[in-house]
Structure 1
Amino acid sequence: MRILVRTSKLAIWARRLALFSAALILISTGLHFFGQIAADVFEISLVIGTVSAGAAFLIGMAAYVVLWFTGDRGWAPASVGLLLGLLCLGPAGIVLALSEFYPSTADVTTALGAPPQLLEAQPNESGIDPETVLASFPNLITRAYQIPPQELFSLGQSLVRANGWEILAATPPTETSTGQLNALRRSLLGFENEIAFRVSPNPIGSLIDLRAASLDPVYHDLGDNGRAIEAFLLALDDRVSTYIQDNMAQPVPEEPPVPESDLAPDAQPDAQ
């Protein structure tokens, strides 16, 4: 008598859903990074991919149980569905962790009363308490440096270029007027954000304020803007410190020796 060994349909469907989820997440991420699809389409694709990955993981677990009792074939496709589905659930887990750890910084600034003006991004009223943002990003405060405004603006502009941000507009300051720079920053996943910094003259040197806002309306940016401008300010601190050290380390010129003919008669040495 020939025993018919079948392949579990649950295992097959677990693998199909896991492969579909992985392909959807990877392709949509690449297309969004290169600007081929809009942010809302990318977010919908991620939701569909995450739901498919969760279904693949659960069906894979169910296939394991069925295969254990029936002895059917399908351990390999069930394992693909289980492990690949779990891997595709990783981004969703990271998003949940970041949303719990960081407040939304979809529109964040160091100057709450009069933030720098935006050129392309729309103001985002996230309703987040500024004290909550400051607790997570303690370096997001107005900086005061004892250097001229023009030099501070130049240091900030060079740092923007070093970060690879696209400069939208730049108006250098003077000794009596403020200057501002607006730039476009792309996150690792392709989301676009506008960064603006304003340099103002100060009696002891100059002040700088920053603002970062998402171009597309988002409910929660997972603290991305906050981390970006906090890192910018810390890097600017280092550049300003280096600038001050280099300018204070300039050698003092030595005084030329006084010729003997210019010495007073009493100061000339006695002739032997």
Structure 2
Amino acid sequence: MRIKIRTSKWAIWARRLGSVAVPLVLLPVLMHREGFIDAATFLVLILFAGALAALAVLVSLGALIRLWFSGDQGWSRALAGLSLGLACVAPFGWYGALALRNPPVTDIATAPRSELPLIFQPDTAAMPPPLLLSAAEQGRLFPNAATRDYPLDVIQLFALVDRLVRANGWDVRRRSEPLDFSEEGRINARIVTLPGWQDEAVLLVRPTRDGARVDMRSASIGAPIDFGANGQRISQLLTALDSEVTAFLRDNPNISEPVMPDVVPNPEVETGER
């Protein structure tokens, strides 16, 4: 007589939940990045997907425990559900860790925000008010996110800033290049994060008495918090700019020295003896 071994229903449901969680996590992200859904809808969908993924992990663990004691079939189903559930839960764990490690903020700037205006105008009714840090908190958490002064003229410095922005692949929406040593240069660029949130970076290059100065602002549009992205973005770009300026000055050691006009001898001045 052949004994039929049954398949655990827990294992069946574990794989089903894991299989459903994958598209429920990916689709809202893709739709949010392409602009098919707004921020509020995205938050609802992604939180529901995260809850379902967590449920898939719990059911999978329960199935594995029951299989260990019952001897039923379904190990492959339970392990598949666990793998899919963990893959879907992992991004939530990553962003949760970032949220715990960074303060709740959505806007970082190295100068007054009136000098670094945003050009992206979303639906202001749906956009939450910006979360800001005090100057002391910003200096402690992001010490490299600070104004930079360099011994270069504004045209030279703007060229270096513009090259870094394009190297990062940011979508430049407005670019005002200085055509004279007394003019300012400005860049407004759009950045789309992995979950589909839209950020805006503003860079201002202006002349000073001893060279030129760079200020930067990075702000999240519609996101509840930035998970530290804005402060890190400013710190990384300005640190990279430090390296670019250092290399530029090393390769052009006389670039910051004033150019002296050639001395034209006066024929009326007698240089010989009388």
Q: Which bracket does the TM-score occupy, shorter chain normalised?
A: 0.7 to 0.9
CA distance in 1, matches of 2:41, 2:113: 35
CA distance in 2, matches of 1:130, 1:220: 18
Q: Equivalent residue for 2:150?
A: 145
Alignment partner for residue 167 of structure 2, among 162, 167, 174? 162
CA distance in 2, matches of 1:115, 1:249: 32
Q: Is the 8 A contact 1:28 1:42 kept in 2?
A: yes
Alignment partner for residue 207 of structure 1, among 195, 198, 213? 213
Q: Equivalent residue for 1:50?
A: 50
Alignment partner for residue 136 of structure 2, among 122, 125, 131? 131
Gaps of 5+ in 1: 251-272
Q: Percent identity?
A: 37
Q: Deviations over 1:5-34 (max 9, x none)?
A: 221111111111111112222333334344
Q: Is the 8 A contact 1:105 1:224 kept in 2?
A: no
Alignment partner for residue 198 of structure 2, among 183, 188, 192? 192
Give the match's secondary structure for 1:201: strand
TM-aligned CA deviation for residue 167 of structure 1: 1.6
Q: Equivalent residue for 2:6?
A: 6
TM-aligned CA deviation for residue 127 of structure 1: 4.1
- Aligned pairs for 1:174-253 (under 5 A) are 174-215=180-221, 217-248=222-253
- Aligned pairs for 1:52-131 (under 5 A) are 52-112=52-112, 114-121=114-121, 124-131=129-136
Q: Which runs of 4+ in 1 moved over 6 A?
A: none
Q: Is the 8 A contact 2:105 2:132 kept in 1?
A: no
Q: Is the 8 A contact 2:197 2:223 kept in 1?
A: no
Closer, same or farther in 2 for the Cα pair 1:100/1:121, shift >3 Å? farther
TM-score normalised to structure 1 length: 0.82
Q: Is the 8 A contact 1:110 1:142 kept in 2?
A: yes
Q: Is the 8 A contact 1:183 1:195 kept in 2?
A: yes
Closer, same or farther in 2 for the Cα pair 1:124/1:180, shift >3 Å? farther
CA distance in 1, matches of 2:35, 2:114: 32
* Greater radius of gyration (CA): 1
TM-aligned CA deviation for residue 140 of structure 1: 0.6
Tell me the amino acid that sits aligned with residue 166 of structure 2.
R
Give the match's secondary structure for 1:176: coil
CA distance in 1, matches of 2:172, 2:132: 29
CA distance in 2, matches of 1:9, 1:242: 65
TM-aligned CA deviation for residue 235 of structure 1: 1.4
TM-aligned CA deviation for residue 46 of structure 1: 2.2
TM-aligned CA deviation for residue 100 of structure 1: 1.4
- Computed over aligned residues only, the root mean square deviation of the Cα atoms, in angstroms, reads 2.3
Tell me the amino acid that sits aligned with residue 100 of structure 1.
L
CA distance in 2, matches of 1:24, 1:59: 18
Q: Is the 8 A contact 1:152 1:206 kept in 2?
A: yes
Q: Deviations over 1:126-175 (max 9, x none)?
A: 14334333322210111001111121112111221221112212223343
TM-aligned CA deviation for residue 47 of structure 1: 1.3
Give the match's secondary structure for 2:214: strand
Gaps of 5+ in 2: 123-127, 256-274
Mean CA deviation greater in 9-18 or 161-170: 161-170
Q: Is the 8 A contact 1:121 1:214 kept in 2?
A: no
Q: Is the 8 A contact 1:103 1:133 kept in 2?
A: no
CA distance in 2, matches of 1:162, 1:124: 31
